[in-house]
Amino acid sequence: MMLLLLSMVILLLGCDGLLHRDLVKPFMPGVYYASWKTNFSVATDTLQIVPVNENGSGGYLIIRRMHAQFMNAAHQRTPEYAFVKWQGIYDARSKTLVVQPNGRVLRFDPVNKTLQMGVIVYKKL
């Protein structure tokens, strides 16, 4: 009887650990892609997220590459390119990555393999 009780306690403790396991932190590193089109432009955006050290405790490097091609025939504009590097700090409570110093918040959805920054939704490649 005592062995059965002990086995049940171990099983319950193990299940509790699985329920509270952080699925976001191991999902975060990688490359994410988004594209969109408006009446005036077509844009593509790529975010690459790299942990500063192996366990991510030192924060994350976020590399953003963006390209916008303008389509308004009345105003000829050259394409715009952007390349920026940010630092991000992982907030374990909200399971988000907060970009320093601009305060942007990156939200991750491991189930759908997406990242959201504002209204833009990126797919993980």
36-86 per-position pLDDT tens digit? 998 888 999 999 999 998 766 779 999 999 999 988 766 678 899 999 999
List 82's β-bridge partners, or say none: 66
Report residue 56 CA to chain centroid gap.
13
Report the distance separating Cα 125 and Cα 111, nearest Å.
14
Ordered by where they begin, the domains of the chain are 23-124 (2.40.128)
pTM score, whole prediction: 0.78
Tell me the per-residue pLDDT of 82-97, one tens digit each, with 9 for 90 and over.
Answer: 999 999 999 999 999 9
Is cis: bond before 101, omega within 30 of 0?
yes
